[in-house]
Structure 1
């Protein structure tokens, strides 16, 4: 018996702080993907979810929260331990202060058609851990449950089978969200025209494509057969 096709659309972090002209962590041409995403929002996805970085001021990813001289945004790195298992560590890049909870720059950009989004998920709320994925913090042994967004449960309760990922940025939060979607058992795609990378070159976009492919995640086009299958659900 064939499994029913129930696709979801994920829009990752399409927020002011990730978009020109004022974003503290603006991705080049990040705003330009909005019309494509708005077109996708008109398709009959069974779940349409937007995510937001929603950081407290003391978040560990901010270079300003680390001692000099190793506190230069974009350049410095820090080692973070799993709060529940100090033997599990992660090295992470440090960023400018961004997406502070309740501030205008943490909001989804006004060009995005919010009327067609049924769920907004906040992530990155735990100050102790970096959280690129819209699902979980990177630590798995054990999971940092305090950091969980609850996104997997939201999708599973809706009966979702396939997840289409869009938003910002391809080589960070989009990539990690797609990988977690696949690990949660969803057939996962990244829509190439609906995302932009911090690094659009081979070390960013190119390397990310290779890693997604290795994880069983397919890069697809808005004009490809995978998105066309969603369109056909409208009858």
Structure 2
């Protein structure tokens, strides 16, 4: 079950979000919070996988909570649900790693789409150790695989240039040492789900190579290495 925290200062809206969430299979509500401070107390006390986050709140706003989550490095994903429709708020939320953004008021169908898409991405990534380009485009980046290379100049959906730059800087600091998605996610301060999207993208470009590592306990883990000689492949996306 995906464990969810609702952060919303309006009790009526929080109740609606709670009822909507209960209709969708695969999610479990951990708690609700009406302030950033209260949310941080819950995050430090409970396991939280996903936050449904409002931006307009008393004292600190939701964007401040997004910053704090990144610094914690706990791998928590965020879907913003807010009346904030200005591009600055949207861009900032996406830059800080929000996986989706719903503008109030919204229909239940949009809420359902956001949650089910997120759930299926989580399930897909959990059972995949490797992936084809066709699967990558279809399930993660939502791109038409028939598009030509000349047409693909923008980053895939859900990826941002600032986060990509931060990830590349951290990979370079490893000086060729192999790493897992979980290790890099913790180092950068974003969720494993978000990190896996960037790793799939970099692997599809040929900037990362992967090898499955079999430990004495637990599932096999894919470990990645940076191919410095192919750094030129990423320049069109910077």
Give the TM-score of the pair, scaled to structure 1: 0.36
Structure with the higher fraction of residues in helix conformation:
2
Larger Rg: 1 or 2?
A: 2
Give the TM-score of the pair, scaled to structure 2: 0.36
Structure with the higher fraction of residues in strand conformation:
1
